[in-house]
Amino acid sequence: MSHTQILKEQSIDFLGKRRIAAIASAVILCICLLSMFVRGFDLGLDFTGGTLIELGYENPVEVADINATLADNGFDGALVQNFGSRQDILIRLAPQVGEQTSAQMSDTVFRQLSAAAADAGLGAVDLRRVEFVGPQVGEELREQGGLAVLFALIGILIYVALRFEWRFAVGAVAALIHDVLFTVGIFSIFQIEFDLTVLAAVLAVIGYSLNDTIVVFDRVRENFRKIRKGTVTDVTNRSINQTLSRTIITSGTTLLVLFALYLFGGEVVSGFSLALIIGVFVGTYSTIYIATAIAIWLGISRADLMPNAPKEGEVLDTRP
């Protein structure tokens, strides 16, 4: 028996566990929502505004020493962290009220830390990058990012309703909302920095999850038209099993790339790749236990997906 035949004949009862999955999803989403409302997000410079300074030290340096130097010179609210190694330092400064511009502020910080490094025998300090985002720009980016996610979900609802059936559309959008809340909730729970690259990853997760859902929906519709026996749950379960090999291959190869990005891509793409890794896992799960389960719960039936009898002179829709 070939590998393909084995995959085709497998009959894992995915939907038999849909009630347990629904309870687990509800609990996790409640935790995510609670964290978002109580703890909020560790918003990056893109959203909060301020100055970002990247420095390179000749020798390893302690973050605590840099914090102490900045605090002694009036920069108490600075956020200092290592950027790949103990010699690479990233400093975030909140917007300052005063006459100093961003360039002047970065010059001041650079001079102070260079002098402190020389006194401590740490060698030269290299100013690698300075970025500035105004607080007004950060607020606009937050609003536009939220609207981008909202419009994407509305567009998907309309597309799936027209392409398939409104029950499938509701299931697909519910799955996407589940994926978005789960992904951003993880960032809130663990206080991982949330910036524009993470927002871009969330939008990519919507597209990835929808593609996986559409593949399963296509097979469900095809089987409803071909298989005359069996309940709605049986046909849907069979459709999920038939597309499982495709899902494993697609998700597996995608995750290989994303894990490589996360482990070796550096701090710049770590948030982006982490959001996509979470999204791939949760998107695959939600296709089975959210999108298709909700369509069944809403009462999808064989009659809803059977093609209408063509009128005289019309051609039957043969879309896959």
Tens digit of each residue's pLDDT (9 = 90 or more) over 262-306: 998 777 788 899 999 999 999 999 999 999 999 889 888 777 666
- Ordered alpha helix ranges (H), the chain: 3-9, 18-38, 45-48, 63-72, 102-120, 135-163, 166-189, 196-226, 232-242, 244-264, 267-286, 293-297, 302-305
Residue 121, pLDDT score: 82
* Residue 279: exposure state from Cβ atoms within 10 A (0-12, 13-18, ≥19): buried
Residue 189, pLDDT score: 94
DSSP of 150-180, one letter per residue? HHHHHHHHHHHHHHS-HHHHHHHHHHHHHHH
* Closest to 44 in 3D by CA, of 291, 288, 268, 317: 268
Please state the domain extents for the chain.
11-41+137-305, 50-133
Q: What angle do CA 13, 16, 18 make, to 5 degrees?
A: 120
Measure the CA–CA gap between 187 and 185, rounded to whole angstroms: 5
Measure the CA–CA gap between 297 and 211, rounded to whole angstroms: 22
Class of domain 50-133: alpha beta
Residue 25, pLDDT score: 94
Phi and psi angles of residue 299, each rounded to the nearest 5 degrees, phi first: 95, 30
* Residue 209: exposure state from Cβ atoms within 10 A (0-12, 13-18, ≥19): buried
Per-residue confidence of the chain (320 residues) as pLDDT tens digits?
A: 444 444 445 678 888 899 999 999 999 999 999 999 999 888 877 777 778 888 888 888 888 888 888 888 777 777 788 877 788 888 888 776 555 666 778 888 888 888 888 888 888 888 888 887 766 666 777 788 778 888 888 888 788 778 778 888 889 889 999 999 999 999 999 999 888 889 889 988 988 888 889 899 889 888 888 877 778 888 899 999 999 998 999 999 999 999 999 998 777 788 899 999 999 999 999 999 999 999 889 888 777 666 554 445 544 454 44
What is the maximal distance between C-alpha atoms in the chain?
Answer: 91
Residue 5, pLDDT score: 46
Measure the CA–CA gap between 134 and 108, rounded to whole angstroms: 19
Q: Which fold has domain 11-41+137-305?
A: Multidrug efflux transporter AcrB transmembrane fold (1.20.1640)
* Closest to 249 in 3D by CA, of 1, 3, 13: 3
% of the chain surpassing 70 pLDDT: 87
